[in-house]
Chain A
Amino acid sequence: MTVQTRSLPAPLYAARNIVTFLLRQPTSAFGLIVLAILIGAAALAPWIATHDPYVQNLGNVLQPPGNGHLFGTDELGRDIFSRLIWGARITLTIIFLVTIVVGPLGMIVGTVAGYFGGKVDLVMMRITDIFLSFPSLILSLAFVAALGPSLNNAIIAIGLTAWPPIARLARAETMTFRNADYIAAARLQGASSLRIIVKSIMPMCLPSVVIRLTLNMATVILTAAGLGFLGLGAQPPLPEWGAMIATGRRYMIDSWWLVTFPGLSILCVSLAFNLLGDGLRDALDPKQMNRR
């Protein structure tokens, strides 16, 4: 009973500490704020968006910013600002799904390979090497080509190509402390390998994996945008940012706003995740614990 009352506030307290730490530095504060705006925009899209993102108005195409359209209209007369706001939902879905696939998968492969070593390590790491040696966009292209172009397939493809660096990282981390005394103590207590990996090793890998995942999100967004740009990700009329740039490209010379605003959105969000990842690295570094 005392367990719940005492241990429940502890993670919340830690989370608050981390957020305070991140907000204290301008760069990571920027990342956090952009991320907050992105989530806010995605959650409140129906209220923030000024127009329906799918309604076409062929009498009002390629309007420059202004005149009731904050970022102008595209080649079918749709409001670009509203499409960007709705597109935030797609971006967040991609990031969320990729992260919950890539994080656990990379971590399991890495910790198992690192903990057991020997042949298990050899086999798992060679598989990882094979995935690593393909350029991720090309591999994604191959997956999408095989599975057919759609947003979900793009997410699966990105997930399948983004886990090897996480696995490598988790393996390297695991190897640094698999011979530590506390692991030996756990073995002496009769803990099974599964128990040691889940309870002792994964908590130690978690901070660096979280940092790596955050830094990876920028790549994930760019790959998703790239797939969208090539027409292999989100299909029209979905307001995915990469796809918006792809269709806007044909009108780029005369109507700069078609590609500029989706491009800036991708830039801001990727940058935000990179800065946030850097900030998290400082925040989760045990050597900096004392400063909080």
Chain B
Amino acid sequence: MTASVEIENLSISFGTVKVLPSVSFSVAPGECFGLVGESGSGKSTVLRCVSMLTDFWSGTVRIGGKDVRSLPLAERCRLLQMVFQDPYGSLHPRQSVRTVLAEPLRIHGLGDREARMRQALVDVGLPVDFLDRFPHQLSGGQRQRVAIARALILEPAVLLLDEPTSALDVSVQAEILNLLARLREMRGFTYIMVTHDLAVVDHMCDRFAVMQSGEVTEILPRSAIAGNGATHPYARELIGASLEYEGQR
């Protein structure tokens, strides 16, 4: 199951501060779309708006052609899930992996829980006996795998990834990115991925948007990174800085 995501004129203010003036982009079914930009440029806010965690925005967000605002809660949950940045904060410290994975199944009244939970753990490359572990008994990478398993268990079409690797060290980052790439091949997920790291975009995404103070300055294909094919000065600067940094390493 795949679904497209279309965002039109998404805007939101917190108090008097306009965080997103007007954001529009669309993501094809099965595509991986990157959102890059400096801290505070509104990347994560876009994801929180799309997922309805923040619901006082205006504009239109359609997933698979359906307006997220008019989607019933249960259907929305089965269409879109999110993986958070910090695996240390996104798992309940007092819930075992079994509870974490069983809760969504209970909420949605899905049967055959044990088999589904086992399958989810296998999908993210964790041994099945991890079901009875608690978050403090897992490493950062393992926690993030559990967080991904939690997102997968409702079999969504769209996964929102909020810097899923930035809290992990480099070798674990590669593992998680490969896992996400493999899952997309297997299931045909649509990804919207927020990241700081253009190398991650280069590895994962088909297209990406460069954001600056709440606005999408430019939407570029992956191939634009290598030769710095951006036309907007800010996007050029960002990609240039990243290439320079990569060159130094």
Contacts and interface: CB of A to CB of B under 8 A. Distances in A.
A188 B77 contact: yes
A181 B86 contact: yes
Contact of A203 (B80, B82, B94, B108): B94
Nearest to B86: A181
Given A3-B98, A185-B84, A195 B107 contact: yes
A190 B150 contact: no
A56 interface: no
A286 interface: yes
B90 A190 contact: no
Nearest to A186: B103
A186 B95 CA distance: 12
B150 A185 contact: yes
A189 B104 contact: yes
B94 A204 contact: yes
A167 to B, nearest CB: 21
Interface secondary structure of A, over-half rule: helix
Contact of B82 (A185, A286, A289): A185
Interface in B117-150: 132, 136, 147, 150
Contacts, number: 60
Contact of A190 (B82, B85, B91, B104): B104
A278 B52 CA distance: 42
B82 A188 contact: yes
A259 to B, nearest CB: 47
Interface range, A side:
20 to 34
A181 B86 CA distance: 8
Given A188-B81, A188-B82, A182 B103 contact: no
B89 A181 contact: yes
B89 A190 contact: no
The interface centre, meaning the residue of A182, A186, A187, A200 with most chain B CB atoms within 10 A of its CB, is A182
B74 interface: yes
A182 B77 contact: no
Interface string A158-185: 0000000000000000000000111011
A30 B104 CA distance: 45
A290 to B, nearest CB: 9
B51 A180 contact: no
A55 B238 CA distance: 91
A252 interface: no
Interface in A176-214: 180-182, 184-191, 195, 199-200, 203-204
Contacts of A182: 89-92
Interface of A: 3, 6-7, 180-182, 184-191, 195, 199-200, 203-204, 286, 289
Interface of B: 51, 53, 73-74, 76-77, 80-82, 84-86, 89-96, 98, 103-104, 107-108, 132, 136, 147, 150, 154
9 contacts: A182-B89, A182-B92, A184-B84, A188-B82, A189-B154, A190-B107, A191-B107, A199-B103, A204-B92
Which 3 A-B residue pairs are closest in the complex by CB-CB distance? A181-B90, A190-B77, A189-B104
